[in-house]
Amino acid sequence: MRTTRKDYLAHIEELQKRSDDTVAKHIAERRALTPSQPDPEDDPTFGQRAADAVARFGGSWTFIMLFALVLVCWVALNSFLLTRGGAKPFDPYPYILLNLFLSMLASIQAPVILMSQNRQGEIDRLNAQNDYEINLKAELEIMALHEKMDGFKQQLLDMQHEQLRLLNALCADNKVAT
C-alpha cells in the first residue's frame, strides 16, 4: 500500500489533534503531561540492543584504529611471507581474501547500523512529540497566567477609580462644609 501526500498530511493532522486533546485533558485535570516512569513495553529487544552496540562500536575511533591495525598487520604479514623465498603467503598481493572479508563486513555492518539509526529516529520522533506537547501546555498555562494578571490589573484599576471617586466626594463634602 502506497501512502500519498494527502494520506500523510491527514495522519499528521490526526496526531496533532490527539496531542492537542491530550494537552487539554492534562491542563483540565491539573496533571503532569509526561509519565514519570517509561513504559516497560518500550524495552529494546535483543536485536535492537545488538544493533545499537554494533552502531556504537562501528562508529567509534576505537573501531577505526583496530580496523587500521588489522589491515596493516594483514598486509605486513602477507608482504613479509611473499618476500621470503620459501614461504607461501595465505593472501598474496592483490589481497583478494582481505577484500572478501571487507565486503562481508560492510554487507553485515551497514544494515545493522541502519536498523539502529531507524530506531533512534523513532525515539527522536517520540521525544519531539513529547516536547511539542509540553511546550503547548506551557504556552497555554502562560496564556492563562496572563489572563489572570490582566484580570488582577483591571480589578486594581477599578479599585483605584473607586478610591479616587470616594476621595473626590470627601473633598467636595469638606469644601461644602467649610
For residues 54 and 122, the answer to whether their CB atoms sit within 8 Å is no
pLDDT over threshold 90, residue 66:
yes
- Contact between 133 and 22 (Cβ < 8 Å): yes
| Rounded mean pLDDT, 93-111 | 91
Query: For the segment 122-142, what is each residue's pLDDT rounded down to a tens digit?
Result: 989 989 988 988 898 889 889
Q: How many CB atoms lie within 10 A of CB 160?
A: 10
Q: What is the pLDDT of residue 8?
A: 76
Query: Which of the four pLDDT bands, split at 50, 70 and 90, describes residue 94?
Result: confident
pLDDT of 25 reads: 81
Average pLDDT over residues 35-61: 79
pTM: 0.59
Closest of 80, 109, 81, 74 to residue 95, by C-alpha: 74
pLDDT beyond 90 at 160: yes
Those residues with Cβ within 8 angstroms of residue 54's Cβ, 6 or more apart along the chain or in another chain: 109, 112, 113, 116
pLDDT over threshold 60, residue 167: yes
What is the structure's pLDDT at 37?
45
